[in-house]
Amino acid sequence: MSFKLPKLSYSYKDLEPYIDEKTMEIHYTKHHAGYTNNLNKAIDGTDLALLSIEEILRRSNIEKPIVRNNGGGFYNHNLFWEILISHLNYTPPSKYIKNIIQKDFKSFDSFKEQFSSTAMNRFGSGWTWLCVKEKKLTICSTANQDNPIMLGIGCEGIPILGLDVWEHAYYLQYQNRRADYISSFWNVINWNKVEKNYKEAIEE
């Protein structure tokens, strides 16, 4: 199969003032498109072309770094775009998902603090994840374009929420102020999608 860049459900400027229009345009049309195109080139004519992206990334040994990096970049950004929403359409987490979060992190504020701290402490480029593992929520971080569905990286689980902390995700607007970017992220999370991801994850 040939992987395709997903369509966004919002315009590049819809996440302003929290994520600026120019960053969104470059992030989507250059970075994500690049991962997608490079992945397709890397798997063309191989047995990997017959697999889903999840099947590719769940292999115990992803033989080629180009497949690992670009496959991860394709998958990670697909999830990232889906869990973002314009602040004008933002709704807080439902009682259902909030109770799940409070059960596993004692309080919603404690969850936010732990997630934000993990994102701040990711050295260099990478991602921070909220995952379902053995029916429980966990927070972890991965380097580069690795993600929790890859095996043996110490961050295994089914990701339901992810934050891109590569500099290309925020540097035009926030420069070196990653903390401000992380703080802004909480204003544009699509909690309905996160809840849907959670329900699907616990059924696997």
Helix (H) or strand (E) holding 202: helix 191-203
pLDDT of residue 151: 87
Model confidence at 1, pLDDT cuts 50, 70, 90, reads low
pLDDT of residue 59: 81
Model confidence at 175, pLDDT cuts 50, 70, 90, reads very high
Which residues make Cβ contacts (< 8 Å) with residue 132, sequence separation at least 6?
138, 157, 158, 160, 198, 201, 202
Mean pLDDT of all residues belonging to the chain: 95
- As a whole number of angstroms, the distance between CA 203 and CA 149 comes to 16
pLDDT of residue 60: 55
CATH number, span 20-204: 3.55.40.20
pLDDT of residue 64: 83
pLDDT of residue 92: 96
- Please name every residue paired with 21 in a beta bridge, in sequence order, or none if there are none: none
Mean per-residue pLDDT, 87-111: 96
Name the amino acid, one letter, at 89.
N
Q: Are 176 and 151 in contact (CB under 8 A)?
A: no
Mean per-residue pLDDT, 159-187: 98
Mean per-residue pLDDT, 146-152: 92
- As a whole number of angstroms, the distance between CA 147 and CA 157 comes to 9
- As a whole number of angstroms, the distance between CA 1 and CA 153 comes to 27
Strand ordering across the sheet containing 158-164: 136-143, 126-133, 158-164
pLDDT of residue 204: 78
Model confidence at 197, pLDDT cuts 50, 70, 90, reads very high
pLDDT of residue 152: 86
Q: Are 73 and 67 in contact (CB under 8 A)?
A: no
- As a whole number of angstroms, the distance between CA 174 and CA 47 comes to 42
Model confidence at 137, pLDDT cuts 50, 70, 90, reads very high
Mean per-residue pLDDT, 120-140: 97
pLDDT at residue 127 greater than cutoff 60? yes
Question: Any alpha helices (H) in 53-190, and if so which ranges?
Answer: 53-57, 65-82, 95-105, 108-120, 171-174, 178-185
pLDDT of residue 62: 67
Largest interatomic CA distance in the chain? 49
- As a whole number of angstroms, the distance between CA 99 and CA 121 comes to 27
Residue ranges covered by each domain of the chain? 20-204
